[in-house]
Amino acid sequence: MGNRLEGKIALVTACTRGIGRAIADMFVDEGAKVYYACRNMETGAAAVEAARARGGQAELVYFEAYEPETHRSMINECLAKEGRLDVLVNNFGTSNPQKDLDIMRCTYEEFERTVNTDLSTVFNACQEALNKAMLPQQSGSIINIGSVAAICPDKTQLGYGVAKQGINHLTKQMARQVAYANVRVNVLNPGIIATDAVARHLTPETQVYYTANCMIKRVGEPNEVAYMALYLASDESKYVTAQVLNVSGGWM
Ligand SMILES: NC(=O)c1ccc[n+]([C@@H]2O[C@H](COP(=O)([O-])OP(=O)(O)OC[C@H]3O[C@@H](n4cnc5c(N)ncnc54)[C@H](OP(=O)(O)O)[C@@H]3O)[C@@H](O)[C@H]2O)c1
* pLDDT, tens digit (0-9, with 9 covering 90-100), for 87-104: 999 999 999 999 999 999
- One of 3.30.70.20, 3.40.50.720, 3.20.20.70, 3.40.50.300 is the CATH number of 9-247, namely 3.40.50.720
Q: Which of 108, 160, 210, 231 is catalytic?
A: 160
pLDDT band for position 56 (cuts 50, 70, 90) = very high
Q: Are 187 and 144 in contact (CB under 8 A)?
A: yes
Asked whether the predicted pLDDT for residue 139 surpasses 90, the reply is yes
- What does the pLDDT read at residue 171? 99
- What does the pLDDT read at residue 179? 98
Task: Give the separation between CA 45 and CA 38, rounded to whole angstroms.
Answer: 9
Q: How far is the CA of 198 from the centre of ligand 1 (A)?
A: 10
Q: Which atom of ligand 1 is nearest to the CA of 22?
A: 16
Mean pLDDT of 211-217: 92
Name which of 74-78, 172-176, 207-211 the model is least confident about.
207-211
- From 37, 32, 84, select the one nearest 61 (Cα to Cα): 37
Indicate if 209 belongs to the active site: no
Per DSSP, the residues of 84-109 read ---EEEE------TTTS--TTT--HH
User: Residue with the nearest Cα to atom 31 of ligand 1?
Assistant: 65
Contacts of 230 (CB under 8 A, 6+ apart): 4, 5, 23, 26, 27, 30
| Residue of 207 and 216 predicted with greater confidence | 216
Mean predicted lDDT score pLDDT of the chain: 97
- From 93, 85, 171, select the one nearest 128 (Cα to Cα): 85
Asked whether the predicted pLDDT for residue 206 surpasses 90, the reply is no
Asked whether the predicted pLDDT for residue 198 surpasses 90, the reply is no
Pocket mutation for ligand 1, best pick of 15, 38, 39, 218 (most atoms within 8 Å of C-beta): 39
- What does the pLDDT read at residue 209? 82
Q: Are 26 and 227 in contact (CB under 8 A)?
A: yes
Mean pLDDT of 215-240: 97
Q: Determine which helix (DSSP H) or strand (DSSP E) holds 173, and give its type and residue range.
A: helix 158-178
| pTM exceeds 0.85, yes or no | yes
User: Residue with the nearest Cα to atom 46 of ligand 1?
Assistant: 93
Q: How far is the CA of 92 from the centre of ligand 1 (A)?
A: 5
Mean pLDDT of 201-224: 89
Q: Which atom of ligand 1 is nearest to the CA of 16?
A: 43
Q: How far is the CA of 17 from the centre of ligand 1 (A)?
A: 8
Q: How far is the CA of 210 from the centre of ligand 1 (A)?
A: 19
Q: What lines the ligand 1 site, CB under 6 Å?
A: 14-20, 39-40, 43, 63-66, 91-94, 145, 147, 190, 192-193, 195-198
Q: How far is the CA of 91 from the centre of ligand 1 (A)?
A: 7
pLDDT band for position 199 (cuts 50, 70, 90) = confident
Asked whether the predicted pLDDT for residue 78 surpasses 90, the reply is yes
Asked whether the predicted pLDDT for residue 30 surpasses 90, the reply is yes
Pocket mutation for ligand 1, best pick of 16, 188, 198 (most atoms within 8 Å of C-beta): 16
Asked whether the predicted pLDDT for residue 252 surpasses 90, the reply is no
